[in-house]
Structure 1
Amino acid sequence: MLCNRVQLRRTAEEQSFTVSYLVSSCGLSPEAALCVSQKVNFPSADRPDSILTLLRSYGFTDTHISKIAKTRPNLLLSDPINTLLPKLEFFHSIGIPPADLAKTLSSNPALLGSSLKNQLIPTTSWIFGINLEKKIVPKIAALIELGVPASNLSLLVTLHPYVLLQSRNKFDRTVKEVLGMGVNPCKSTFICILQMMIRMSKSSWENKMEVYRKCGWSEADFHLAFKKQPLCVGISEKKIMSVMDFLVNEIGWKPTAVARVPSVLLYSLKKRTIPRCSVIKILILEGLVETNMCVSTVLTMSNKDFLDKYVTKYEEDVPQLLNVFNGKVSLAELGYKFEETCVV
């Protein structure tokens, strides 16, 4: 019975959170948000936050995002890296201007739900007259010669076809740069790094390196982090500075330590990082868990695992724990505060 009550309460809270999120982050009216919440449910802000960040990086305005949230809200639960990004990059690679792309896709969001391989590429190649065999096959042959395995080539064609649609000069130059970083062509990370470097201009790369230098990273730290998690160079300067400030100055993590687990930089500071660290801080102060907790483990584990292991398990001991986890109550409001090395 207790489990059923907890589940019912969690479901109701998730629906309430969904309505609140649609209003505050997607610009929907309370009435529209309530209607949309009958079709989609956000367990947390992690996935929709990632989607909105990605869309905004491609020029989508609040108006565009609001239209997508109203007409195709399930897109906000898509996999941003493996599902949405390849389609956005593909449209960009065939020369559609950002403003036109945002306007078109927000008016026809079903395009973002279409199969890239079976629908979008065949259709657009016919419309734009792209000679796929002439443009793509030589590049695939070059990658095979380098030792890129068939399984990774399949990922490249399926998830990142825009890489193969670049000019031959740009493609060859970028491959050479990736190899120069010491990345093994046989590893799947080779494809991930190649597609990210294809996307970035030299000035963008240098600017991002400078941002991380300001946060205490050396050039070696930057390259290490990029090779571990290429998406860390796609984060805005504002987010990098705020996340690093919290992890280093509030939690007591050394900048070099963050570089070894760069995936933590991708998480929402407000919706994931601060609430999780707050939960652990309370549990430590109440003597319910050991003090030598690992920051990376706390932040990278799934929402369900964290909820089960650190929230639901101790709800009777700390009644406000679920509200802390959901970001509704802060440490300060409960009379706690962060101290250096509060989580090690």
Structure 2
Amino acid sequence: MFGFICSRQQLLLTYRRTQLGFIQKNAFFLVKSFTSKGLFQYEDKQQEGKPSFTVSYLINSCGLSPKSAILASKIVDLENPDRPDSVRNLLKENGFTNIQITTIVRRRPQLLLADPGKILLPKIEFLRSIGLSSSELPKIITMCPELLRRSLNQHLIPCYNFLKSVLLEDDKVITTLKRSSRAFLNSVVDNMVPNIELLREIGAPQSTISLLVTNYPDMAFIKHGRFDMALQEVREMGFDPSKSAFVLALQVILKVKKPKWESKLEVYKRWGWSKDVAFLAFKRAPQCMLVSEEKICKAMDFLVNQMGFSSEDIARNPIVILLSLKKRIIPRCSVVQILQANGFLKNDISSSTILLPNEKRFLDKYVIKFLDHAPQLMNVYRAQIELLDVEIQSAKI
């Protein structure tokens, strides 16, 4: 009996200890959870109620969204409005709009701490001195605000001097800068200098070099080893360095990787082009290998299946694949179909004959000339153009 009582007391004691442990353990987690959650909520409320000066300034003075301002505040810490105000005022005085300033600050908030007179103004004055107009300057810097962070004497001026030595004219240097403002960010010594020297070694004339640098500056700045390999490949294909097609082919080889190249060949093969035919088309218009597979199929479907041009005809004039289906191909072909239906035009006309001339020449030869016999031609042509405008406006809405 005594043993039973002791055993019972022990069981009660063990149970109470277990319950107490459970309560203490849960109380710990409850306190911890409450403390952590409460702390975070308190900090959040503090942040929401009292944003830092940096975040407030970026939102209220620079026009950044709260999210962008918080991200920018991790990069730059503003103690007072004096320096950033002077930076913004300098930009406004040089023709930058509020939207452009907002874009620049969002992309490179560090510029708000730059010395306006010693760091920023000399670079702005330099870019203006080489020929950038008052409207071009803000656009280029907005697209690439990193220009204002590069050293004037150690980077921007040497880059300009080399480009000027290659292109010879300020206008072409400006064109290069407008087409790729990042051209002024790359090191000319590491890649562009040896790339240009290599072109000269193979006999490329000034016109070829100028075409490459002015129209495809990113290609001119590409890593030298890759540039060298592409150059050799283009030469082995038989392209003449003195012709513009050489530069176009070089651009394609540098842009299109082998799997994509093979995929494009398969698409053309489905439209009846053998590898040899595709290669001849590439030599005539290298850009035909830059066109998306979807555009290739849409253009070929319309020209071959709806207009009746042969696949061989397109291969002889592959540049027509590059033309806009809605802006050029369909409006002109609509006119041609009316002329053929009324017997004014033969059915064996080449696609290039109607698609390659400029608009004035096309209208004179295929529209105005036949207005007396087919007065609906101009309406048909303009209806197609207007339909495109309606589609564009609808897309914007």
Distance 1:248 1:225 in 2: 16
CA-to-aligned-CA distance 1:67-115 (integer Å, 9 cap, x gap): 9xxxxxxxxxxxxxxxxxxxxxxxxxxxxxxxxxxxxx8995799xxx7
Return the alpha-carbon distance in structure 2 between the equivalents of residues 123 and 283 of structure 1: 48
2:205 is the alignment partner of 1:137: no
Identity %: 40
8 Å CA contact 2:313, 2:350 repeated in 1: no
Q: Against the structure 1 CA distance between its residues 316 and 297, is the aligned structure 2 distance closer, same or farther, given a 3 Å change threshold? A: same
Structure 1 match to 2:177:
120
For residue 298 of structure 1, the aligned residue among 348, 354, 358 is: 354
Q: Secondary structure at the match of 2:367?
A: helix
Shift of 1:221: 1.5
Q: CA deviation at 1:291?
A: 4.7
Q: 1:311 to 1:215 in 2, by over 3 A?
A: same
1:319, CA displacement in angstroms?
A: 2.7
Q: Compared with structure 1, are the counterparts of its residues 158 and 268 closer, same or farther at alpha carbon in structure 2 (3 Å cutoff)?
A: closer
1:14-33 map, 5 Å: none
Query: Which protein is bigger by CA-based radius of gyration?
Result: 2
Flag as ranges the 4+ runs of structure 1 deviating above 4 A.
105-111, 121-126
Shift of 1:190: 0.9
Q: C-alpha separation between the residues in 2 aligned to 1:200 and 1:162?
A: 14
How many aligned residue pairs are there?
A: 223
The residue number in structure 1 matching 2:275 is 219
2:387 pairs with 1:324:
no
Task: Give the aligned partner of residue 245 of structure 2.
Answer: 189
> After superposition, where does 1:26-175 map in structure 2 within 5 Å?
108=142, 117-118=173-174, 120=177, 124=182, 128=185, 130-175=186-231
Q: Measured at CA, do residues 252 and 288 of structure 1 come closer, stay the same or move farther in structure 2, by a change above 3 Å?
A: closer
Instruction: Give the whole-Å Cα distance in 1 for the aligned partners of 2:220 and 2:352.
Output: 35
Structure 1 length normalisation: TM-score? 0.57
5+ residue gaps, structure 2 = 1-98, 100-138, 146-170, 386-397
Whole-angstrom distance in 1 between the partners of 2:338 and 2:376: 10
Work out whether residues 144 and 181 of structure 2, in 8 Å CA contact, stay in contact via their aligned partners in 1: no
Indicate the SS of the match to 1:216.
coil
Flag the structure with more relative contact order, 1 or 2, with Cα contacts below 8 A and sequence separation at least 6: 1
Cα–Cα, structure 1 residues 326 and 235, in superposed 2: closer, same or farther, change >3 Å? farther
1:241 offset after TM fit, Å?
0.7
Cross-structure match for 1:209: 265
Contact 1:271–1:327 (Cα < 8 Å) also in 2: no
1:276 to 319, 332, 342: 332
Contact 1:193 1:230 in 2 (8 A): yes
Q: How far did residue 146 of structure 1 move?
A: 0.9
Going from structure 1 to structure 2, the CA distance change for 1:309 and 1:202 (only over 3 Å counts) comes to: same
Following superposition, the deviation at residue 257 of structure 1 comes to 2.0
Change (3 A) 1:176 1:215: same
Q: Is it true that 1:308 corresponds to 2:367 in the alignment?
A: no
- Asked whether the equivalents of residues 232 and 262 of structure 1 are also in contact (C-alpha less than 8 Å), the reply is yes
AA matched with 1:148: A
Q: 1:245 aligns to what?
A: 301
What CA deviation, in whole Å up to 9, does each residue of 1:15-64 have, x standing for no partner? xxxxxxxxxxxxxxxxxxxxxxxxxxxxxxxxxxxxxxxxxxxxxxxxxx
Distance 1:321 1:117, change over 3 A: same
Deviates more, 1:307-316 or 1:186-195: 307-316
**Letter in structure 2 aligned against 1:218:** S
**Counterpart code for 2:288:** C
Q: Equivalent residues in 2 for 1:253-268 (5 A)?
A: 253-268=309-324
Question: Deviations 1:142-163 (Å, cap 9, x if unpaired)?
Answer: 1111111122112112222212
Residues 270 and 327 in structure 1, CA contact (< 8 A), matched pair in contact too: no
Q: Alignment RMSD, CA only?
A: 3.2
Aligned-residue offset at 1:186: 2.7
Question: Secondary structure of the residue that 1:326 maps to in structure 2?
Answer: helix
Shift of 1:193: 0.8
CA–CA separation in structure 2 for the residues paired with 1:205 and 1:317? 48
